[in-house]
Amino acid sequence: MNTTPSIVASRLGQVKPSASIAAKAKADALRAAGRTIVDFTVGEPDFPTPKHIVEAGVRALGEGHTRYVASAGTPALRKAIIGKLQRENGLAYELPEVVVGSGAKHIIFNAFTASLNAGDEVVIPAPYWVSYPEMVLINGGVPKIVDCPADTGFKLTPAALEAAITPRTRWLVLNSPNNPTGAVYSEEELRGLGEVLLKHPQVWVMTDEIYEHFIYGGARHCCILNTTPALRPRTLVINGVSKAYAMTGWRIGYGAGPAELVKAITLLITQSTTCATAAAQAAAAEALNGPQECVSEAAKLFEGRRDRQARQLSAIDGIACDLPPGAFYVFASVAGLIGRTTPSGTVLRTDQDVASYFIEQAGVVTIDGTSYGLSPYLRFSFATATSEIDRGCQAIAAAVAELRKP
């Protein structure tokens, strides 16, 4: 009998693995086992990084950019970020207010590490990106989950925000366009949230805008600092190059905010990763400074895929979804499938059951809404080829046709 005490910290007992990464691993494992799989879990563009960006990275390697650089990021990339934020978002920052990390996720995690004391609360609207609550828990905070159902457009209302804030509230996390729903906050909606926040000076705002360039129809991206500039001394803007420029594997993200917080995040980087990769930072600078047609072309491509996937899913009995105004996911209700019985006699009782059924019966991997804080839904990524969208939706339709209604 092994009596050696566990080396694992007790706080990790309440932290769940990333549902999106676990689903992707499931798809990969099934393929490796010989199954034909359609993967609707992917949270990354399916096309390569644009050529001019890759060439900038290769050129940087050839020029000797293979060593440590400043922990806050190279001056060239931070200047490119400042220029981007001014040009595209109307936000003015200086070098000490910008920090580069190994992905936007890295900056978010370090921001929580730098700012949360035990018991501090973080308001997180649900549906949420799966990692927000877990990163809060890892850092000793308390996720304060606020349900934002479909009848609110999956968005936080001022009244719901006001009700969630307590003297222990440290942060509000905003994600627009949203993962998993694609919800986009309007200027009016952000202004309403800003008015509430102005009454609570202890609450900081973390605005995650990683999907900002993927906006469809009449939607328009806006930052809460555009509507409520008085929040600037307590707002951290999160962004990166992963989604817009198909650079997920380059691992470059950034934060812009008050110098005190940026300095604390940089301190953590000095004691952990030291710096983001030098050549990747050179490529990211080219992404932000160079031609932007690749971004608009990607957005147009995704909009067509969105329409195609949403149309086919909505035609399936028991599945309902609206056209998401942003990001590259359809968040579809599967409430109409709950209670139906599979050919093997199993009753589908949750969205997790539905997701499992689609894997086994249709060979289609999705992510359940429970993992995002709202059920019964499934998240379908349309960051994949139209042929895969068609094949997956057809397989789901055939699987649903096999279900027996109550």
Which of 314, 249, 216 has its CA nearest to residue 46?
A: 249
Residue 293, pLDDT score:
98
- Burial (CB < 10 A; 0-12, 13-18, 19+), residue 176, is buried
3 state SS of 50: coil
Share above pLDDT 70 across residues of the chain, in percent, rounded to a whole number:
100
How high is the pLDDT of residue 2? 67
The pLDDT assigned to 5 comes to: 87
Distance CA 392, CA 400 (A): 12
Instruction: Say what the pTM is.
Output: 0.96
| Maximum distance among all Cα pairs of the chain, rounded to whole angstroms | 67
Amino acid at 55: E
CA distance linking residue 43 with residue 20, whole number of Å: 8
Q: Please check the confidence at residue 18 and state whether its pLDDT lies above 90.
A: no
pLDDT over 80 (residue 156): yes
Share of the chain above pLDDT 90, in %: 90
- Contact between residue 402 and residue 357 where contact means Cβ atoms under 8 Å apart: no
Assess whether pLDDT exceeds 80 at residue 1.
no
Question: CA angle, 145 as apex, 140 and 149 as ends, to 5°?
Answer: 160
pLDDT in tens, 164-196: 999 999 999 999 999 999 999 999 999 999 999
- For 20-65, what is each residue's pLDDT tens digit? 777 778 778 888 888 888 999 988 999 999 999 999 999 999 999 9
Instruction: Map out the domains of the chain with their CATH numbers.
Output: 11-41+294-401 (3.90.1150.10), 51-291 (3.40.640.10)
For residues 220 and 55, give the distance between their C-alpha atoms in angstroms, rounded to a whole number.
32
Residue 238 has pLDDT above 70, yes or no: yes
Average pLDDT of the chain to the nearest whole number: 96
Q: What is residue 33's predicted lDDT score, i.e. its pLDDT?
A: 84
Structure confidence at residue 253 as a pLDDT band (50, 70, 90) = very high
DSSP 39: E
How far, in Å, CA of 296 to CA of 303, rounded?
A: 11
Q: Residue 376, preceding bond cis, omega within 30 degrees?
A: yes
pLDDT in tens, 131-154: 999 999 999 999 999 999 999 999
Q: What angle do CA 188, 194, 196 make, to 5 degrees?
A: 115
Tell me: pLDDT of 364 over 70: yes
Q: Per-residue pLDDT tens for 317-349? A: 999 999 999 999 999 999 999 999 999 999 999
Q: What is the DSSP letter of 275?
A: S
* Cα 152 to the center of its chain, rounded Å: 20
CA dihedral 133, 135, 138, 141 (to 10 degrees): -60
Cα of first residue to Cα of last residue in the chain, in angstroms, is 49
Residues in the chain: 406
**Pick from 18-22, 95-99, 153-157, 290-294: least confident:** 18-22
Report pLDDT for 324. 98
Strands 377-381 and 329-333: antiparallel
Distance CA 165, CA 197 (A): 9
Q: What are the CA-CA distances from residue 52 to residues 48, 194, 243, 284 (Å)? A: 11, 39, 16, 11
